[in-house]
Structure 1
Amino acid sequence: MPTGVALRDVRKQLFDAADRILLRDGPSGLTSRSVTTEAGVAKGILHRHFADFDAFLADFVMDRVDRMDTQAAQLREEAGKGDVVDNLADALTALFGSVAVAIVALVTFRDGLRARLRESWPAGVPVLTEAAIMIGQYLTYERAHGRIADDAPIDALAPTLIGAGHLLFADRGTPPDAEAVRTMVTTVLGGYLSHA
């Protein structure tokens, strides 16, 4: 592997390689060697930029959490438009159709990663916690638009939608169809959907 090749953004290159490996091979396939091989860089590059592999993985997870800000902003923009169930089903499908499900498995799989994440993220799995915040904000906006009941327990509904969504998407060869996701959202929201 040539070492004199300039890398434009080594972090992005390594993180994108980690995405591909996680989606293809799962957490057990994610090693420092597999990441550098997939990224097409010299083996020592990863350790020149990160203290160790768990530091790399912690930065990778937090980078993927930061990327959710765009999705959260897009979902908030949908408040008051379209159908609430469709908006949530689309958001959950985009979330869990990404590397998010694999990241949950990765965090569960690696004790060192969990310990490293606890230094900056004190509770929960970062991707799922951030997703629950995103869904909670959207439900709050919809409540302000009168499309979710005033007495809706948003602090309970948001994590329930995330948990049920995760169960629908986790460990499946093929993702659930759109109707299955819609049915789950409708069931969770139950009588809290306003039909005015």
Structure 2
Amino acid sequence: MPTGVALRDVREQLFEAAERILLRDGPSGLTSRAVTAEAGCAKGVLHRHFTDFDGFLADLVLDRIARLERQAAELRAAAGTGGVVANLAAALTELFGPVAVAIVALVTFRDELRARLRRTRPTGLPLLTEATAMVADYLAAERALGRISTAADPATLAPTLIGTAHLLFADRTATPPDAAAVHRMVAATLEGVLPR
């Protein structure tokens, strides 16, 4: 007879368990045994729902990317309201929460996971690529509204903002940057394209 707790939504419970392990132990602590132990279920449960552990991890990353779509819609809807710097600083702070930073580390840590993700996402680093598109879309909308210079290049500014923000948040063991630091970084990056 299987041991452990009854699972309501197996995928979600396993994903949440994996995220807790990533936050606590980092990518090297993430194993199928650790995930099922954290979720309180038999090891076979994971393999009944996913082809293998890297398939599970790929689905975990894709789930995180799907969550980013909601944030992208909210940021796009914010175009024309509030301040451009404030909107981006808030979006980047939400984007680079501890779980997302751990997911990026996981993708860079596991070669087989990256290979799986390349099947549907052939370029860039998954999650960061989608985040870059989110910021570029927002900047293009603000440019169309005249809130940033018509000379602004969202395709260059977006990866600059994402890369710099990732560097600010990347150390999972350190205290995340405060709101003022993120605001300063965004303001400095956009300095040449914001109205005076």
* TM bracket, shorter-chain basis: over 0.9
**TM-score of the superposed pair, with normalisation by structure 2:** 0.95
1:68 — aligned with what? Answer: 68
Q: Does the 8 A contact of 2:22 with 2:102 survive in 1?
A: yes
Q: Tell me, in whole angstroms, the C-alpha distance in 2 between the residues paired with 1:46 and 1:16.
A: 13
Give the structure 2 partner of residue 155 of structure 1: 155
- Is 1:124 the counterpart of 2:124 in the alignment? yes
Q: Gaps (5+ residues) in structure 2?
A: none
- 1:78 deviates by 1.1
Contact residue 4 and residue 41 of structure 2 kept, 8 A = no
Other-structure match for 1:137:
137
| Structure 2 residue matching 1:57: 3-state secondary structure | helix
| Deviation digits for residues 116-146 of structure 1 (CA, Å, limit 9, x no counterpart) | 1111110111100000000011111111221
Query: What is the aligned-residue identity percentage?
Result: 69
Shift of 1:8: 2.2
Distance (Å, rounded) in 2 between the aligned partners of 1:155 and 1:16: 33
Distance 1:101 1:86 in 2: 21
Native 8 Å contact 2:168 2:177 kept in 1: yes
Task: Point out 4+ residue stretches in structure 1 off by more than 2 angstroms.
Answer: 1-8
Displacement after TM superposition at 1:7 (Å): 2.6
**Letter in structure 2 aligned against 1:99:** V
For 1:187, the aligned partner's letter is: A
RMSD of equivalent CA atoms: 1.5
Cα distance in 1, alignment partners of residues 140 and 195 from structure 2: 13
Where does residue 179 of structure 1 map in the other structure? Answer: 180
Unaligned runs of 5+ in 1: none
Q: How many residues align?
A: 195
Query: For residues 6 and 98 of structure 2, what CA distance do their matches in structure 1 show?
Result: 29
1:115 is the counterpart of 2:115? yes
Q: What is the match of residue 188 of structure 1?
A: 189
